[in-house]
Structure 1
Amino acid sequence: MPAYAFAHLRSRRHHPDIIEYLERVQATLDPFAGRFVIHGLPAEVVEGTWPGSMVLIEFPGLIEARAWYNSPAYQEILQLRTDHIQGDVLLIEGVEPNYDPVLRADKLRAEAQRTS
């Protein structure tokens, strides 16, 4: 099942360190089969507000996503980004290809009935 590294980058300063980070980040992803799915602006906000930009990186699974984030190669460049961009990063497992939200609704309904 795929997993994702999701970043909501709220404030950023253009700095030479960011350019270096961008030049080096793909090499840290390659050993873990990570690939950018979304990388920054523009975004069309259709509900609510969204300050900042989004990055979404796909991995074969959560094991690879964790291994990438904790890898010495990524940790070596991480501060190039975190010193100049404020944001949040999540590692999250995706859903199976045949995911059906009706099954999720059924599970939530059953849980609600047990607790009421």
Structure 2
Amino acid sequence: MAKAYWINTFRSIRDEKKLVAYVELAGPAMRAAGGRFLARGLPARAFESGIMERTTLIEFDSVDAAVAAYNSPAYQQALRVLDDGAERDLRIIEAVA
């Protein structure tokens, strides 16, 4: 089974306090679901159509594990806390090998 990568970008942040509360809940929820944070923060550089937006990269053992993390009660609670405090783009992709 191939590993999977959760790629989350924040297109805009409307409420910094909600974002902080989300991060406090989302991080532990991802780790409890087997996620391993590989990178997070602003890009060092962006090229072509790239945008300098906050990005998080989390590795999971499989797509199913990443989807289960998203659907977990702990992560859903983090999303409720965020409550329209940010516009995000979230993708889960399977590793090539």
Deviation digits for residues 63-103 of structure 1 (CA, Å, limit 9, x no counterpart): 1101100011111111333511112111111110xxxxxxx
Contact preservation (8 Å) 1:43, 1:53: no
**Amino acid aligned to 1:41:** L
Gap runs ≥5 in structure 2: none
Q: CA deviation at 1:37?
A: 1.4
Higher strand proportion: 2
Between structures 1 and 2, the one with greater helix share = 1
The one-letter amino acid of 2:29's match is T
**Match of 1:45?**
46
Per the alignment, residue 108 of structure 1 pairs with none
Please report how far the alpha carbon of residue 17 of structure 1 lies from its aligned counterpart in structure 2 after TM superposition.
Answer: 1.9
Give me the whole-angstrom Cα distance separating, in 2, the residues matched to 1:40 and 1:31: 21
* Deviation >4 Å, runs of 4+: none
Aligned pairs for 1:90-101 within 5 A: 90-96=91-97
Superposition pairs of residues 48-59 of structure 1, within 5 angstroms: 48-59=49-60
Q: Show the 5 A alignment for 1:1-116.
A: 1-96=2-97
CA RMSD of aligned residues (A): 1.7
Size of the aligned set, in residue pairs, is: 96
TM-score by length of 2: 0.84
Rg (Cα) greater in structure? 1
Give ranges in structure 1 of 5+ residues lacking alignment.
97-116
% identical aligned pairs = 35
Structure 1 contact 36–58 (Cα < 8 Å) conserved: yes
